[in-house]
Amino acid sequence: MILEKIEGNSIKQTTIKNRIESVGIGLHKGEPIEIALEPMEANSGIVFYRSDVGMSVRATPDSVVNTQMATVIGDGENYISTIEHLLSAIYSYGIDNIRVVVNASEVPVMDGSSASFCMLLDEAGKRVLSENKKFLIIKREVEVVDGKKFAKVTPSLKPIYDFTIDFDHPIIARQEYRFEFSKKSFIKEISKARTFGFLKDVQYLRSRGLALGGSLENAVVLDDNKILNPEGLRYKDEFVRHKILDAIGDLSLLGAAIVGDYRSFAGSHNLNHKLTKEILRDPKNYEIKTFSKESAKELQKVFA
């Protein structure tokens, strides 16, 4: 791992300017959850804190304890679930250091997208810190495969997320979306895309005491032939756009702004987690750098 020190007019780390609070419903327990976003100092990273049990855990690949239906981090004894939608917003807003405080075992699902978290971050504002911002430069192709499914990253100076899904369902079917990453584009093209599920699966999960907070208010729900939400879709290809939203949040656990292309077919939280672990497994896969504003004007725009 190489850290290039650049003094003077370099791109700096950030945090939020003000503490901000909100309340939302937990997807699985169906109970109100209090959430607060708090500023942190440089090099703190993204830290989650459960106030009900006194657990503090950094958002890193090594903290992930489950990826079955969401990305879940924990310390071996306690956990926090469904962190990916919030992380997607934090990463896309270029926030390097922040503490997330919740009083339950999951982040509130809000409306099933990142839109509510974007509004919270807008209200909280951004503060520039003195330390240089870290960029993770992908140096060579890294891929993880599960049958026909895959997720991979390749070197590129312009971060792109390219996702394809293929569902045996008349409404979803095959969808592809290529997203050129930036905060402005994220807000417009990705942030409002909601999580989705099938009515038969929701019924099964509820029989096991899960998805108790799931509703048409926080997810796109489909039966065998149609969408049950009366308002319909927010984007015609909302399903694949939400997969990109998830991927941005999952890969943000790498702990730095990623400079490289991400591509996936039928990816999942599990494949994304395996990809982050595989990237970090070999130092030849990546390089950690800092940049001056002058030498990386385009990156500064993307990660502003």
Catalytic residue positions, numbered: 269
SS3 sequence, the chain?
CCCECCCCCECEEEEECCCEEEEEECCCCCCEEEEEEEECCCCCCEEEEECCCCEEEECCHHHEEECCCCCEEECCCCEEECCHHHHHHHHHCCCCEEEEEECCCECCCCCCCCHHHHHHHHHHCEEEEEEECCEEEECCCEEEEECCEEEEEECCCCCEEEEEEECCCCCCCEEEEEEECCHHHHHHHHCCCCCEEEHHHHHHHHHCCCCCCCCCCCCEEECCCCECCCCCCCCCCHHHHHHHHHHHHHHHHHCCEEECEEEEECCCHHHHHHHHHHHHHCHHHEEEECCECCCCHHHHHHCC
